Amino acid sequence: MVIKAYLLTSFNIAWHIQNIILAGIILLILGLLVYMLSYMYFKSIYDKKFEKWSLISDLLIRKAIFYDDDEIEDDTLIPVTARAEKLMHNKYFRKLLVTEIISAKKNITGISADNLKHLYVQLGLEKYALNNLTSSRWYIKARAVQELTIMDMKEFVDQLYSYTDDKNDLVRMEAQSALVQFNGFDGLRFLDTITYPISNWQQIKLLQQLSHLPPSDIDMSIWFKSPNSSVIVLALKLARNYHRFELHDDIISCLDHSDPWVRFEAIQCLTEIYTDETSDHLISRFLNEILKNQLAMIKVMQTIGTDRDVLFLLDLLTYDSDEIKIFAARALAQTSKNGLDSLLEYSGKADQSINEIVMHIKGEIAA
């Protein structure tokens, strides 16, 4: 009896558990179904809304780009519908519109681009961008700087200046590029004050931006005294690219800088900006340099070296480092006729390794 009652109770409990699990599964499926249906419903509403916004935004942009095909005077208004005006209070619509305006502005120039800027200002979109500059989130700040730059809002250059030394590297990069875009070489004045390093990539970007502009004789001497090594490095690259011979002494002083990166760039720079004393400056510092910079020095001498440097280069052939020997042999072969003769004469008396190097260099010259 007891066993039978026990079995019956156990069966009942199992049956209840099974029912609960089944109900749970049904509820879960129903829940998922409701979620999916409501998601699809709201998505279709959003898509329809987005489609309408997209049309309104396209229409606005098209009107601006092709507005009478003439330049718009400052006080002329591009016709904007009441609906579009109202939508300007909606941040999602503004985001869509700004994205499209920026995309169009990147692709066009001339009157159409000016008209697009006119529309941007007419709708007061620059105020939102300025507001975003104060955001605590770096990506909003960086995007706002980029937006103002693309829209050519030169009038806000002073506001953007403070972001050239922002703690976030992307915000800094955008602001520095903005200043150069707006003011060309004069935009580099941020180099007077910045404390954060300028990455190699950013230096390339800035130099690339400047390459589209006519050369300038902007005063760069202050940058050579900057406590920020990257500023000196950029100044050295500028001096080299624009052949600023008057900066020779500043460049030579960089050979004694504590940062090997600065010294390396200074050595490279001397390939383009040199006097008859440049080799002596390099030779006097050679022993105290790191290998990378020593090799750079020899490479410079390959270009600017004269008969006076032959003895020094011959001496380098006695060093243990094969790299130094190869670089020195190459420099000797190319500095002068005397250098090549001295190299060949030396190789006749030297060991097998030097002979192999000389053969290699001869092959290079023949090629």
Partner 1 sequence: MKILVAEDDQLMVKMLEFRLKKDGHDVTITNDGRAAVEKLDDFQPDLVITDIMMPYLSGLEVVSAVKKRYPTGTPVIILSGMGQENVVLEAFQLGADDYMTKPFSPNELSVRVRRFDASLVK
SS3 call for 250: helix
- Per the structure block, which two tokens stand in for 357? 């190097």
Of 79-87, 98-106, 251-259, 278-286, the segment contacting partner 1 by CB under 8 A is: 98-106
Q: Which is nearer to partner 1, 36 or 108 (CB)?
A: 108
**Binding residues among 253-282 for partner 1 as defined by CB under 8 A:** none
Residue with Cβ nearer partner 1 (108 or 344): 108
Q: How far is the CB of 113 from partner 1 (least distance, A)?
A: 7
Per-residue x/- mask for partner 1, residues 53 to 82, rule CB under 8 A? -----x--xx--xx--x-------------
User: Could you say which of 74, 89, 107, 320 contacts partner 1 (CB under 8 A)?
Assistant: 107
Out of 100, 152, 272, 356, point to the residue binding partner 1 (CB under 8 A). 100
Q: Which residue lies nearer to partner 1 by CB, 112 or 335? A: 112
Report the C-alpha dihedral over residues 347, 350, 353, 358, rounded to 10 degrees. -10
Tokens matching residue 5:
């009652």
CA atoms within 13 A on the CB side of 136: 0
Find, among 82, 92, 91, 89, the residue nearest to 60 by Cα: 82
Closest approach of partner 1 to the CB of residue 207, in Å: 17
Query: Which residues are within 8 A (CB) of 233 and not within 5 positions of it... i.e. 6 or more apart?
Result: 198, 203, 261, 262, 265
Shortest Cβ 36–partner 1 spacing (Å):
29
Name the minimum Å distance from CB 197 to partner 1. 30
Alpha-carbon distance of 190 to 364, in angstroms, equals: 45
| Closest by Cα among 241, 272, 269, 244 to 254 | 269
Looking at the Cβ atoms of 78 and 111, the one nearer to partner 1 is: 111
Q: Which two tokens stand for residue 259?
A: 């940062």
Selected binder of partner 1 within 13, 32, 33, 108 (CB under 8 A): 108
Secondary structure class of 92 (helix, strand, coil): helix
Taking CB under 8 A as the criterion, which residues in 113-152 touch partner 1? 113
- Which residue number, 150 or 232, has a Cβ lying nearer to partner 1? 150
Binder among 49, 52, 106, 360 for partner 1 (CB under 8 A): 106
Question: Residue 129: what residue type?
Answer: A
> Which residue has tokens 């961008």?
129
Question: Does the footprint of partner 1 cover residue 352 (CB under 8 A)?
Answer: no
Least distance (Å) from partner 1 to the CB of residue 107? 5
111 is a site residue for partner 1 (CB under 8 A): yes
Place of tokens 């001497």: 221
Burial of 348-361, coded b for 16+ CB within 10 Å and e otherwise, reads eebeeebeebbeeb
Nearest approach in angstroms of CB 16 to partner 1 is: 59
Q: Sign of torsion, CA 113 119 125 127?
A: positive
> The tokens 């690259």 sit on which residue?
237
Q: Angle at the Cα of 155 (from 154 to 158), degrees rounded to 5?
A: 95
The first and second tokens of residue 350, run together, are: 């030297």
Q: How far is the CB of 99 from partner 1 (least distance, A)?
A: 10
Among 53, 60, 64, 112, binds partner 1 (CB under 8 A): 112
Report in angstroms how near the CB of residue 78 gets to partner 1 at its nearest: 15
Q: How far is the CB of 60 from partner 1 (least distance, A)?
A: 12
Q: Which of 3, 77, 109, 367 binds partner 1 (CB under 8 A)?
A: 109
Q: Which residues here bind partner 1, judged by CB under 8 A?
A: 58, 61-62, 65-66, 69, 100, 103-113
